[in-house]
Amino acid sequence: MLIKREVGPDNVEISLGFVGTQPPNYPINSIYLWSSGSEETVMQVQLKPGSGIRIEELKERLRPEIAPGIGRRALSRLNQATSSAGS
């Protein structure tokens, strides 16, 4: 897994990923999981307390690794979302 390679496997508490739309019988409310098609993914990673990983630096390291697999439009949306979340 890319995250474990970047932060070290001992620093990951848990990870969760969803790809595409979820079926209606799946226990995830679509209001909170906003992927609208097979081209969208939600990935959540919780690092262990005290890992010392700097999140902003990690995101910058991960973007070039993830970006080749997604289109320019999706990358632009990712950058907008993370920059507005930090303000």
The pTM of the full predicted model, rounded to 2 decimals, is 0.57
Choose among 10, 14, 13, 30: nearest CA to 22: 30
Q: Who has greater pLDDT, 7 or 65? A: 7
What's the rounded Cα separation, in Å, for the pair 26 and 23? Answer: 6
Helix and strand tally (H, E) in the chain?
3, 2
pLDDT of residue 52: 93
CB distance 57 to 5 below 8 Å: no
- Please tell me the total count of domains within the chain: 1
The whole domain housing 12 covers 2-85
Render pLDDT for 5-55 as a digit per residue (tens, 0 to 9): 899 989 999 988 777 777 777 776 666 666 667 767 778 889 999 999 999
pLDDT of residue 61: 87
